[in-house]
Structure 1
Amino acid sequence: MHKHEKLNYVEFPARDIAATKAFFEAVFGWHFVDYGPDYAAFGNEGLEGGFYRAELAGSVEEGGALLVFYSSDLSATQAKVEAAGGTIKREVYEFPGGRRFHFCEPSGNEFAVWSER
């Protein structure tokens, strides 16, 4: 259900929509709906959104927002990220709430995954 004045949808740029879709399908089990060749939407993943064709990518270094996944098995999720073609941007480190790592998906957008200690 949509909630008044709450986050509802997020969009990301993607240089290679097919590779980005394949990555999120392999690692996180996402499903997509294509709206033409330049847009793919995802839903039912905690937050709905989509990827649009663009040459840009979101990164923390350039001031982009960081979306963070939760994992109950950080090592297993990192292995899936790497096996699906993601690149580790920041190795696992500890922070006051647990541990996390940052990665880039095939189109270059940066995300993170965290878990409790």
Structure 2
Amino acid sequence: MSNSPKHRLNYFELRVADSGRSRDFYSAALGWQFTDFGPTYAATTTDDTDLGLDAETKGPPLAVIESNDLEASLAQVEAAGGTIVKPIFDFPGGRRFHFTDPDSIEVAIWQRD
């Protein structure tokens, strides 16, 4: 697979009850700075491994993997037996899709604009 896209874990999304409260907690507890992306979402924007606080979606945390070729990543996930649960969609800063692995764990892969 010499032409495979490059992948790295660079984002972790916590599903929280109140993104403002969680933002304030992590800012005070760890000294992190967050950017608000609307009333229900805040995130660090360090361009390293960042943390998102999502008050709109319920469920377990979501690992988000960055790719340099989103369509190739989608094809590889499907070929490996992953199930696409959210097809490619746009969001501020890029595009992503969600899939479940053979253990039904949801993961997202994204590509920057």
TM-score when normalising by structure 1: 0.48
TM-score when normalising by structure 2: 0.50
Bigger strand share: 2
